[in-house]
Amino acid sequence: MLIEGEPGIGKSALLAVVVDQAVERGWTVLSAQGVRGRSGVGFSALHQLLRPVLDRARGLPNRQRQALETVFGTFDGVAPEPLILQIAVLSLVEEAAASQPVLLAVEDLHWLDRSSAEVVQFLAPRLGGTRALLLATARIVENEHPREVFDSRIALGPLSAEDSLALVSEHRPESTPAQRERIVRESVGNPLALTEFSASQVPSLSARPALHMPMTQRLEQAFYSDVLALSERTRSALVIAATGEDADAHELVAALRGAGLSPKDLTAAEHAGLGRLENGFRFRHPLVSSAVYDAADSETRRAAHSTLAAVVRDRGRAAQHLAAATIGWDDDVAARLAELARSADERGARTESSAAWEAAAALTEAPGARAERLAAAAEAARQAGVVDRSLDLVRRARPDASDEATILHLETTEWMLSQTVVIPDARSADSLVDVAITMTDPGSRVELLVFAAVRWYILQGSATVADRIAEELARAEGQNEALREIGLVLVQPATRLDVDRVLESFSGPLRPVDGILLNCLAFAAEEAGDLDGAERVWTAAENAYHAAGRTGDEATALCGRASVRLLRGDITGGMTDAALALHLSDQMGLGVVGAMAAAVLARARALRGEHELHLQALSDAVLRGGPRQFARVEATLAWAKGIAAANDGDDALAVTELEKTAVNAPIALWAGADLAEPAMRSGRTQAVTAWIDSAQPQADRTSSDHLRMLLLRSQALLTDGPGAQELFERAVARGEAAEAAVELARTRLHFGEWLRRRRKILPAREQLRASLPVFRAQGLDPLERRATMELRAAGASGASGATAEGNNAAAVLTAQELQICGLAATGMTNKAIADQVYLSHRTVGAHLHRAFAKLGISRRTQLVKVLGS
């Protein structure tokens, strides 16, 4: 729940009441408070929030525990991806809530450091299954962080005139009715204003500003009127305290002494009720601090920052104070900020890292060095998921980028962004070639040319651009051959590809860009018709990304493997991959990946005849991909719609949708196999012959048994005469060599139907019986019903026999439940499964509990029997 309102409206008072009640009832209270000026230190608020329960981190899954320890500096590990850390925090809260209820009290969310705030936003909608309450406060006018993630929001409004008058009478009983009415009118129902204005003397009250002035400014003026009554030394001490709200008592005392002051100079401020000297000086309201700081002139503020920079022990905070005290270029201070940026990045606080790089650039005199630091800021923002800011930094850096390393860095950042989100003005494949040919370093030139090839492949650009990319790659012979081979296969499908040899070149530590290049190797294998090789690449990539904690890349690899698994007939495995890819992409805001995963799910749902779930997946894909879908997503969606239309008997619509897959040639190549039946029934056989003509050269080039089976089957369906039997027989033979179980079963179904219509009953039964177990195993109800009906028509007994026990799971479990049960069946613990599927281990336990109920079992040992193969 989020409590919103203007300053002084009572947010903190309401939160304090809830905290008191929680303590009275024996709850565990975890609290954190945002402080103005402290937002540049990543995860500081999160550490404050979790400190009382950090000892429970020992019970978390290994990756989650290490993520927490890394960001808090107690473990020297690789900076975790945000999602792993966020799940770790959720798991920790669940652990604490298992013994007694937990209240997470977050005050001034708008001032939390961005990295901590993102974790709070992650928690907000995910605590429903725990005994935990998250209650946060935030100002309405400072809508810096997304707030729609909260289950509910309370906007505190002003007090009524009656309550306002009662409050003034309580605080200023000696005032006249006219004075009380004046205070009520100027306070506009704000409790803090009512009490502060009531405490003012009558002469100052008459000089109050006009009502149109924002309440924040009016309250600041009221507070500052109290400050003006203090001595000059006390006012100077208050400026240092307001400037260093992040300073502890030792640092504040040192800063005061450095300015020729002492803690005694704050005594008068305490007596005036402006704050208390505890672990630092704690102002009684944030508006007191902002009033003091804002009223000081710029030179006074810079002096305060400089004084604090000399005594603050944390190098990061010291660097920020030093930067605030600096005017103009200062390479030494810029270097300190760059050190802070690198340190924040090592702990995974990439938003703060980006801000520090940007601040360092602002103090850097040399244009080239400034561009280099802006490029680092852009990449850190990309990794933090702040797309718009990353793009803005790229565009700001480009005019001053002079060295090739910085240019490559900027182009890589924008290119990687363009693979996961739609960027309307991103460089085209052609313009990437323009940049590549300016590079003197051969390795950089090849890398950019491969980027261009990938962009061309995904968007299916013009043949002229493909030829240009291929020509430039040909000139780079001898330079990074593995990369060159990937690029050439993408733009010239006739190029031969040795998948395993190229895969070996990625055996070392992965660079950020290697994620996308590995994905492109998988695409290239698909283009070459090597579906087995493509699945090996996707699997190797998924394993590498998971081990490295690169969840964004892992989501892409899962999505790619899901598509290939569907092509190869592993519908259940493909759905499991797609469901996890969708889960990860939603957590990380990867719109394009999420759209593709939903499109794959839509195709799987259509194949299984799950109409409502198919429609939901279509809607999910459009929602995530936006109005301008990537060609691959658009083609996959059209394929899914074509299958669903054929299931519904709308053959004309099925052909129309399947023809739309032409926007992406690799998808159209495989989708065309579904054209034959609806095209024949709707009298549009030219659509099938056109596909056969385009697919035949691909089959000849790749020698793909799978593709040859689909071509032979389509030709058999078009053939009216005895020649069809030979085509079907050849198709079955190719299918048996292709390891494409579902498509082979479909071919047998068509062949069996053809044989039965010609009264060749025994061979018809043989083909139909061979197809039926495959359809059942993959939950393909439309095809199973069709094969069952054909067997009955062929006089086979027991054709409608009950589905084997091991095949029920795919029908009754969700894709996520099926995956979790499968991992549990191998003997993995809930914690190990949690690390694998990016959930808390208690959530894994809840999924298993629901799955057991659906499957009618009570023990993990029964899973192997129920799941079957």
Taking only the tens place, the pLDDT of each residue in 367-382 is 999 999 999 999 999 8
Does the pLDDT at position 527 exceed 80? no
**AA identity, residue 854:** K
Phi-psi region of 831 (alpha: psi -120 to 50; beta: other; left: phi over 0): alpha
pLDDT (0 to 100) of residue 209: 45
Residues 6+ apart with CB under 8 A from 775: 742, 745, 781, 783, 784, 787
pLDDT band at 215 (very low <50, low <70, confident <90, very high): low
* 680 has a pLDDT exceeding 70: yes
Q: How many CB atoms lie within 10 A of CB 252?
A: 24
**Pair type for strands 275-278 and 280-283:** antiparallel
Residues sharing a CB contact under 8 Å with residue 200, sequence separation 6 or more, in sequence order: 222, 225
The tens digit of pLDDT for each residue in 233-283 reads 999 999 999 998 878 889 999 999 999 999 999 999 999 888 898 888 888
CB 619 within 8 A of CB 605: no
Bridge partners (DSSP) listed for residue 28 = 102
- What pLDDT shows up at residue 809? 76
For the purposes of burial, counting CB atoms within 10 Å of the CB of 675, is it exposed (0-12), middle (13-18) or buried (19 or more)? Answer: buried
How many Å is the Cα radius of gyration of the chain? 33
Considering only 20-24, 66-70, 81-85, 524-528, which range has the smallest mean pLDDT?
524-528
Residues 6+ apart with CB under 8 A from 368: 400, 401, 402, 403, 406
Place 211 in a pLDDT band, splitting at 50, 70 and 90. very low
Stretch (H or E) spanning 93: helix 82-99
How many other β-carbons are positioned within 10 Å of the β-carbon of residue 234? Answer: 22
Is pLDDT of 432 > 60? Answer: yes
Chain segment 601-623, per-residue pLDDT in tens = 999 999 999 999 999 999 999 98
- Classify 833 in phi/psi space as left (phi over 0), alpha (psi -120 to 50) or beta: alpha
Residue % of the chain over a pLDDT of 70: 95
Q: 662: which DSSP letter? A: G
Q: Given a cut of 60, is residue 145 above it in pLDDT?
A: no
Distance CA 80, CA 91 (A): 16
Q: Give me the helix-helix angle, 62-71 and 82-99, nearest 10°.
A: 110
> 802: pLDDT confidence band, cut at 50, 70 and 90?
very low
Average pLDDT rounded to a whole number, residues 618-637: 85
> Beta strands of 396-482 (E only): which ranges?
none
Q: How many CB atoms lie within 10 A of CB 769?
A: 16
Quote the pLDDT of residue 277. 87
**Helix (H) and strand (E) counts for the chain?**
47, 7
On the question of pLDDT at 40 being above 80, the answer is no
- Look up residue 715 and give its amino acid: Q
CA atoms within 13 A on the CB side of 833: 23
Encoded tokens for 170: 């309580």
Please give the Cα distance from 615 to 621 (Å, whole number). 10
Distances, alpha carbon 470 to alpha carbons 456, 463, 477, 552, 846, in Å: 11, 10, 11, 29, 52
Rounded Cα distance, 512 and 375, in Å: 15
- Strand 153-155 and strand 102-107: the pairing is unpaired
Range with lowest mean pLDDT among 74-83, 656-665, 733-742:
74-83
Give the strands of the sheet with 153-155, arranged side by side: 28-33, 102-107, 132-138, 2-4, 153-155
Q: How far is CA 785 from the centre of its chain?
A: 40
Amino acid letter, 131: R
Query: Which of these ranges, 414-423, 556-565, 566-575, 758-767, has the smallest mean pLDDT?
Result: 414-423
For 52-66, 97-111, 195-209, which range has the lowest pLDDT when averaged over its residues? 195-209
- When pLDDT is cut at 50, 70 and 90, the band that residue 210 belongs to is very low
Residue matched to tokens 């299958």:
643
134/103 Cα distance (integer angstroms): 6
Report residue 671 as tokens. Answer: 């989708």
The gap from C-alpha 627 to its chain's centroid, in whole angstroms, comes to 20
Q: Residue 274: name the closest of 285, 264, 265, 263 by CA.
A: 285
Number of neighbours of residue 344 by Cβ within 10 angstroms: 27
- What integer pLDDT is reported at residue 273 of this predicted model? 87
Pairing of β 28-33 and β 102-107: parallel
CA distance 220 to 295: 9
Query: Three-state DSSP class for 385?
Result: coil
Query: 843-863, pLDDT tens digit by residue?
Result: 899 899 999 999 888 888 889
Angle at 152 between CA 149 and CA 157, to 5 degrees: 120
Judge contact between 30 and 47, C-beta under 8 A.
no
- Identify the residue whose tokens are 């905290």: 19
- Alpha carbons 502 and 498: distance in angstroms, whole number: 6
Nearest to 536, CA basis, from 547, 548, 524, 551 = 524
